[in-house]
Structure 1
């Protein structure tokens, strides 16, 4: 079973004039949970050996060794005219069973995203759901253009990695610089450059850093 709760408050909730705060909590059953923690580092890649790519593993896996998995988070967002900013913090605690061969894990992560619409449109906000809406282009011929920067940071503390039983930290960070083109109310095209780096952990190819260029076309029904 999984339980999710989220509460938001928005003192300002109009397009181009948004102030949002939120808190969330989740708890899941652990019968089939193996405790493994991995990340795609902001982009999905492939290799000759796997369609999932060489994702780094921050904590190893073993099913049936954990009795608690819970997470809570904080969120904030702000928008003024064509500028918007949003950030999230996450804390996840995974507790091992008493006498288990595995140890407790702790995960801390946060992100920050800044965006500016070059064509002047303001990002809308949906109070029902507590989230930003997509940009609606003023010019139906040329669409709307938006610049975006995002920073993601993750720390995983895994006591299994240290022979003394104390927590051993592995870290990851990703910088993303992108441009979005909103062709109309339904079509969005995104181009991103990502730069990723890990500390104390590498992927299956023994890489601890990398660069990527991604292109995405999205159609909203």
Structure 2
């Protein structure tokens, strides 16, 4: 850990000398490859207004707050020689590899390529979008629960400026002891409207993979990355073979306004029980108060720098998301006085409203504030009924990127 901190400190110090007009650090041209250095550092604070569960209970620090360095990402990128691009990314905070892969662009076309290594799998608009430009501090509950992020694999992509098809076969994460399970995924996107400040995006995806050791557990935090408690939880499903997820996505940009949403439906195939099916969605809206708009590339939105760097770019945002991990119900117990019998899986339901503001200052800094309002309900065997838990959470983030 000491080495990680020293590496991060040196990287940030070097980035501070980068001119404000350029986000990345140009290193050199070596072997025909133009090498640049990028980084992202995020520090978070969460303040919990608990209801039933102590959202910071596992930390056992006696406080209703938590502060943590969330990310410390260091990334080397190379363009060339020829039509080759490569990237090596590492998160010094989480001690894991990020995107680490090689891409070959057929005919020099960025929309037609082969890719090998670790990369984000072809699913989920929010998961594939840039982390440094997230609309909210925490991704939506359904994205964190269902989306398949970085895995080792081989992929193929083909498309144009307004459509794309991507397919991938993948295995485990590059870093040992993290996500496992071989599978495949495919995503298709279409933008019937694709102009600067006027974009309509539609997409569909499907991912299917083997569950590790035939064990599956779906659970979700209440849109607070530093919470140590999950309010909805399927529990361990020990006879699970594969998990397949269908995703539908849409986004509309009009000038300084952006609306987007995604729906997921997931089915776990089980040996000794009925298949377990769950679903969820989110819808969100963002307003760039200072008038900036979004671009569009590779089936995801892109956000540029503030029009006036000294003033910065201000955003206001709101999101509603819902997840349902119930697939079953309660049956009356034939034995008098005994609790009802759980028929299926009762992992719980959760609805969450998030409102927030972001401030991007110049080309390297971002500050965010979110307020999260949670309404969850889950069956409790001890209470013999469904129990509601409705906490509120205040979240803050400071971000430095280059």
TM-score interval w.r.t. the shorter chain? Answer: 0.7 to 0.9
C-alpha separation in 2, matches of 1:207 and 1:90: 24
Question: Which residue does the alignment assign to 1:188?
Answer: 366
Contact 2:329 2:342 (8 Å CA) reproduced = no
Q: CA deviation at 1:105?
A: 1.7
C-alpha separation in 1, matches of 2:362 and 2:311: 9
Q: TM-score, normalised by structure 1?
A: 0.84
1:155 is aligned to 2:324: yes
Q: CA deviation at 1:185?
A: 3.4
C-alpha separation in 2, matches of 1:174 and 1:40: 11
C-alpha separation in 2, matches of 1:135 and 1:149: 21
Q: Classify the secondary structure of the residue corresponding to 1:199.
A: strand
Change (3 A) 1:11 1:104: same
The CA RMSD measured in Å over matched residues stands at 2.2
* Residue among 95, 117, 142 paired with 2:311: 142
| 1:125-165 deviation digits (Å, cap 9, x = unpaired) | 22x2x111124201110100010001110111334876373
Change (3 A) 1:155 1:73: same
Question: Which residue does the alignment assign to 1:35?
Answer: 216
Question: Which residue does the alignment assign to 2:397?
Answer: 216
Contact 2:193 2:199 (8 Å CA) reproduced = yes
Alignment of 1:9-158 (within 5 A): 9-46=190-227, 53-63=228-238, 65-97=239-271, 100=272, 102-126=273-297, 128=298, 130-158=299-327
Q: Classify the secondary structure of the residue corresponding to 1:200.
A: strand
Structure showing greater radius of gyration is 2
Contact 1:114 1:148 (8 Å CA) reproduced = yes
Query: Which range moved further: 145-154 or 193-202?
Result: 193-202
Q: CA deviation at 1:173?
A: 0.9
| 1:91-137 deviation digits (Å, cap 9, x = unpaired) | 0001211xx2x5432111100010111111112222x2x11112420
Bigger share in helix? 2
Q: CA deviation at 1:12?
A: 2.0
After superposing on structure 2, the runs of 4+ consecutive aligned residues of structure 1 that deviate more than 6 Å are none
How many residue pairs get aligned? The number is 206
